[in-house]
Amino acid sequence: MKKIENKSLAKAILKPGSVLVLFLILSVVSGVLASPHFLDFEYILAAMTQYIELGIVAIAFTFILISGEIDISVASAMTLSSCFAAILYNYGLPMGLVIAVTLLFGILLGLINGALTTFTKINSLIITLGTMSLYRGLAQILIGKGSVGDFPEWFVGIDRTKVFGFLPLSIFVFIVLIVIMEVILKQTFFGRKVFAMGTNDKVALYSGVKMHKNKLVLFGILGLFTGIAGIMQISRYGLAKYSLGLGGELDVITMVLLGGTAFSGGRGSTIGTALAFLVVVLIKISMTLINMERMIQLMIIGLLLVVTIIISDRLHKYQDLNS
C-alpha cells in the first residue's frame, strides 16, 4: 500500500510543469540574493520590455513546435521586418501604412519558410537554418552598416507608454496575445489539429487534417508575430540596425522549451511559454544587476536550456511510464 501512495505523491510533484514552478521560484530567489535592488516592481516591468519582442515571437513559436516543426530564423525575420519598415518609412510612406505592409511582409517571410518545408519535404530545422542567415543578410543589404531612424513621435517608445498608469504598452500587447493564442490553442478545433499534427502526423493525416495547409498557416502566423515583434522593436529602439536581436533565437527556444513544450511536438501551452519568459527575464535582470559578464550570462542561459531539455524529457518519460 505504502509504495503506491509514494508513487502518487511522486507523480504529483514530478510533473513537467513543476520544473517551471521550481525555476520560477529559483529565479526570484536568486534575484533577491543577487541584489537588494531586484524586488522593484516598476524596474522589473521596465527591464522586461527589453525582451518582450522575443516573448511575443515565443508565443507563436510554441504553436509551431507543438505541431512538430521548428523555425530558427525567427530573430532574423524579426530584424528583417524592422529594417524593411525603416526603409519603407524613409522612402516616404506614412507610418500607419508602413506598419500594415510590414505585417504582411512578416507573414510572407513565414510563408516562405512554410512553403519550403512542406513542398521540399526537407526538415524545417535545416530550411530555417538557411533562412536564418538569408534573412539576416537581407536585413544588412537593406539597411547597410549603420542605423536608420527618425521615426514619428507617436510611434516611438512603446515601452514607455503606460497603460492603466503603470503597465508598459508592449507588455500589455504581450498579455493580450497570450490570452488570444491560448484560447485558440486549447479551445478551438484548429488548436486540436495543431496538437494532432505534432503527436503523430500519419494519424493526423488520415483523420482528415490537411497537413500542408495547416502547416503553412502556422508558419504564416509565426511570420505575422515576427512582424509585430519587428515593429515593436524599432518603436523601442527608435532605430533599425541589421544586428538587432542577434542570437535571439536561443532565448526564444529556451523560453518555449522551459515552458513545457516538447521539442518533439504534441505537447505545450502558451501560458507555459509566458511563465518561462518570466523566468528567463528575471534571471537576466538579476545577472545584469550584479554586473555579470555578458559571456557568463550567455553560459548560464545555455546551461538553463540544456538542463531544461534533459529534465523535461525525463519527467515526460516518467509520467508516461506511470500513467
Partner 1 sequence: MKKLLVLLLVVVLVAGLFAGCAKAPAADAKADKADDATKTSSEEGAEDGSFTVVYIPYNTGNPYYDPIIQGFKDSVEAAGGIFETTASDTPDPTGQIPVIRAQIQKGVDVIALDPTSIDALNDVMDEARAAGVRMFCVGDDVLGNEEHREAAVIATEYRQIGYDSIEIFAESMGYEGQLAVLSATTDSPFQNEQIEIYKEVLAGEKYSNMEIVEVFYGDDEPEKSFTEAEAAIQKYPDLKGLMCPTTVAYVAAAQAVENAGLQGQVLVYGTAFPNQCREFIKNDVVTGAILWDTYRLGVVAGEFIDQVLHDGLVIAEGTKFQTSYGEAELIENNVIYAGPPLAFNKDNVDDYDF
Contact residues: partner 1, CB under 8 A = 10, 14, 22, 26, 30, 33-37, 40, 43, 46-47, 50, 145-147, 237-239, 241, 243-244, 283, 286-296, 300, 303-304, 307, 310-311, 314-315, 317-318
**Region of 277 on the Ramachandran plot (φ > 0 left; ψ -120 to 50 alpha; else beta):** alpha
Tell me how far, at minimum, the Cβ of 288 lies from partner 1, in Å: 5
Q: Which is nearer to partner 1, 163 or 306 (CB)?
A: 306
Q: Which is nearer to partner 1, 27 or 226 (CB)?
A: 27
Q: Which is nearer to partner 1, 95 or 315 (CB)?
A: 315
Task: State residue 148 phi and psi, 5-degree precision.
Answer: -120, 130
Distance separating alpha carbons of residues 98 and 231, to the nearest angstrom:
9
Q: Find, among 21, 29, 50, the residue nearest to 283 by Cα.
A: 29
Tell me how far, at minimum, the Cβ of 137 lies from partner 1, in Å: 15
Tell me how far, at minimum, the Cβ of 229 lies from partner 1, in Å: 15
Q: Which is nearer to partner 1, 196 or 282 (CB)?
A: 282
Tell me how far, at minimum, the Cβ of 271 lies from partner 1, in Å: 22
| Residues sharing a CB contact under 8 Å with residue 243, sequence separation 6 or more, in sequence order | 79
Measuring CA to CA, how many Å separate 61 from each of 64, 222, 223, 299? 5, 6, 10, 23
Q: Which is nearer to partner 1, 107 or 283 (CB)?
A: 283
Distance separating alpha carbons of residues 253 and 251, to the nearest angstrom:
6
Burial of 41 (0-12, 13-18, 19+ CB in 10 A): exposed
Q: How many CA atoms lie within 13 A of 271 on its CB side?
A: 8
3-state helix, strand, coil in the chain (%, to 5): 75, 0, 25
Task: State residue 293 phi and psi, 5-degree precision.
Answer: -60, 140
Tell me how far, at minimum, the Cβ of 123 lies from partner 1, in Å: 28
Q: Which is nearer to partner 1, 161 or 288 (CB)?
A: 288
Q: Which is nearer to partner 1, 203 or 296 (CB)?
A: 296
With contact defined as beta carbons under 8 Å apart, do 255 and 52 qualify?
no
With contact defined as beta carbons under 8 Å apart, do 297 and 287 qualify?
yes
Tell me how far, at minimum, the Cβ of 316 lies from partner 1, in Å: 11
